[in-house]
Amino acid sequence: MKEKKAFHVNGYAALLVLVLIMIAGVWFVYQGSTTNRVGLIILAVILWGISFLFISSLTIVSPNQAKAVLFFGKYVGTIKENGLFVTTPLTQKIKVSMKVRNFNSSLLKVNDSDGNPIEISAVVVYKVVDTAKALFDVDYYLDFVEIQSETAIRHIASQYPYDTFNEDDLTLRGNTTKVSEELAKELQERLAIAGVEVIETRLNHLAYATEIANAMLQRQQARAILSARQTIVEGAVTMTQMALEQIEDGQDIQFTDDRKVQLINNLLVSIITDKGTQPVINTGDMSDNSKTGGSKS
Gap between the Cα atoms of 140 and 143, Å rounded: 6
Q: How many CB atoms lie within 10 A of CB 208?
A: 21
Sheet of strand 92-97, all strands in order from the earlier edge strand to the far edge:
74-79, 65-71, 92-97
Q: What is the pLDDT of residue 187?
A: 94
Given this model, what pLDDT does residue 128 score?
A: 95
Per DSSP, the residues of 108-171 read EEEE-TTS-EEEEEEEEEEEES-HHHHHHTSS-HHHHHHHHHHHHHHHHHTTS-S--S-TTS--
H or E element in which residue 125 lies: strand 117-128
**Spans of the chain, pLDDT less than 50:** 286-297
Dist CA 104 CA 199 (whole Å): 14
User: Are 183 and 155 a contacting pair, CB within 8 Å?
Assistant: no
Distance CA 95, CA 85 (A): 14
- The alpha carbon of residue 1 and the mean position of all alpha carbons in its chain are separated, in whole angstroms, by 28
Domains and CATH numbers, the chain: 9-96 (no CATH), 100-210 (3.30.479.30), 218-272 (no CATH)
59 with 67: CB under 8 angstroms? yes
Condensed to tens digits (0 to 9), the pLDDT of residues 231-265 reads 777 777 777 777 777 766 766 666 666 776 777 77
What CA–CA distance (Å, rounded) separates 187 from 181?
A: 10
C-alpha gyration radius of the chain: 42
Q: Yes or no: say if 137 and 1 are a contact pair by the CB < 8 Å rule.
A: yes
Any residues with CB less than 8 A from the CB of 285 and at least 6 apart, and which?
none
The residue length of the chain stands at: 297
The whole-angstrom separation of Cα 23 and Cα 44 is 9
